[in-house]
Structure 1
Amino acid sequence: MPLVTEEIDDIIVLSDEDKDRIYTSWIFSIIIKLFKKNLAYGYLRTKQLDLWKPSEPLIVVDLGNGYYIAKFTNQENMQRGLHGGPWFITGDFLLVRHWEPNFTPEAAKTTHTAIWVRLPSLPIEFYDKSILESISHKLGTLLKIDTCTPAALRGLYARIYIQVPLDTLVKTYVTMGNHRQNIVYEGEGVLCIRCGKLGDTHKICPTQATTTQNKQDKNGASTSSSAFPHNEWQTINFNKRKTGQKVQQLQKTTADS
Structure 2
Amino acid sequence: MEEKNKHVLRNSVIIKVLGSNVPFPVCSLELRRQWSKYGGFHLTSIGMDWILCSFKTEEAMEEILNGGPWFIGGHIVGMDRWNAEFDPYSFKGITAPIWIRFPCLPLYCWDEDNLTRIASRFGTPMYIDSNTFRWGKREFARVCVKIDLEKKLPNGVWVEGSVGRFFQLVEYENVHLLCYHCGRVGHNKDECPDEVAQGIRDQASSKVVADKPRNNIPEAGSGMIKSEYGPWIHVHFKIIALSRHGAMGEN
TM over 0.5: yes
Of 114, 119, 128, the match for 1:146: 128
> Which residue does the alignment assign to 2:179?
192
2: distance between equivalents of 1:147 and 1:173?
Answer: 20
Partners of 2:2 and 2:53 in 1: how far apart?
Answer: 28
Q: 1:87 to 1:221 in 2, by over 3 A?
A: same
Higher percent of residues as strand: 1
Q: Distance in 2 between matches of 1:37 and 1:182?
A: 27
SS state at 1:97 partner: strand
Indicate the structure whose relative CO is greater, using CA pairs within 8 Å and at least 6 residues apart: 2
Question: CA offset at residue 38 of structure 1?
Answer: 4.8
Distance 2:46 2:186 in 1: 22
8 Å CA contact 1:117, 1:185 repeated in 2: yes
Question: Distance between the aligned counterparts of 2:188 and 2:63, measured in 1?
Answer: 28
Partner of 1:98: 81
The residue type equivalent to 1:171 in the other structure is N
Equivalent residue in structure 2 for 1:223, among 206, 216, 221: 221
2:191 is matched with 204
Residues 81 and 96, structure 1, Cα contact 8 Å, conserved in 2: no
Cα distance in 2 for residues equivalent to 1:90 and 1:223: 45
More helix, by proportion: 2
The CA deviation at 1:118 is 1.3
Q: Percent identity?
A: 21
Pair 237,96 (structure 1): closer, same or farther in 2 beyond 3 Å:
farther
Between the aligned partners of 1:68 and 1:147, the Cα distance in structure 2 is: 30
Which residue type is aligned with residue 191 of structure 2? I
Which letter does structure 2 place at the counterpart of 1:160? C
- 1:13/1:80 CA distance change after superposition, 3 Å: closer
Identify the match of residue 46 of structure 1 among 29, 33, 49. Answer: 29
Given that 1:32 and 1:94 are in contact with CA atoms closer than 8 Å, whether structure 2 keeps it comes out as: yes
Q: Equivalent residue of 2:233, what SS?
A: strand
TM-score, normalised via structure 2 length = 0.63
Counterpart secondary structure, 2:130: coil
Write out aligned runs for 1:162-181 (5 A). Answer: 162-168=146-152, 170-177=154-161, 178=164, 179-181=166-168
For the Cα contact (< 8 Å) 1:47–1:89, is it kept in 2?
yes
User: What TM-score comes out, normalization by structure 1 length?
Assistant: 0.62
| Change over 3 Å in CA distance of 1:76–1:237 after alignment to 2 | farther
Unaligned residue ranges in structure 1 (runs of 5+): 1-11, 213-219, 245-257
- Partner residue in 1 for 2:109: 126
Cross-structure match for 2:235:
236
RMSD: 4.0
Q: Deviations over 1:75-115 (max 9, x none)?
A: 56434432433433234432211222x25555x52135433
Structure 1 counterpart of 2:15: 32
> Structure 2: 5+ residue runs without aligned partners?
203-217, 242-251
Aligned to 2:207: none
**What amino acid is aligned across from residue 147 of structure 2 in structure 1?**
Q
In the alignment, residue 48 of structure 1 is paired with which amino acid? L
